Structure 1
Amino acid sequence: MTDDPKTARERVEDFITRKAAEDENIRAELKKNPRAAVAKVGIALPEGIESRWSRSRRP
């Protein structure tokens, strides 16, 4: 085990954020459709997990 206090969710969000910073297409997709952006970086999120990007879009 690592001493990293981050949860798996936080590590995934950080990874996606870094990828979005590197690629403008992913950054644009992240704003429109977070789940599709996640798929573009090669990570499949289980159903029901919301990212910090999609939470702000909820009514």
Structure 2
Amino acid sequence: MGFLDDAIDKAKDLAEDHPDQVSAGLDKAEGLINEKTGGKFEDQLDGGVEKAKDALGIDE
């Protein structure tokens, strides 16, 4: 198993154990990036965060 596979597995384990905290972290990161870019990539970030949450099995 490679480094990326290990990182993905660890992220899934963390999301499984602490879904609310992982979700809040993703939302916070999205907000910070939107702030720094003036919302220029808001739609792309929103889609990316939703895909990340889906991949990690986080329900909102």
Q: Which TM bucket (shorter chain)?
A: 0.3 to 0.5
TM-score where L is the length of structure 1:
0.41
Structure showing greater Rg: 2
**TM-score for both structures, normalised by structure 2:** 0.40
Of Structure 1 and Structure 2, the greater helix share is in 2
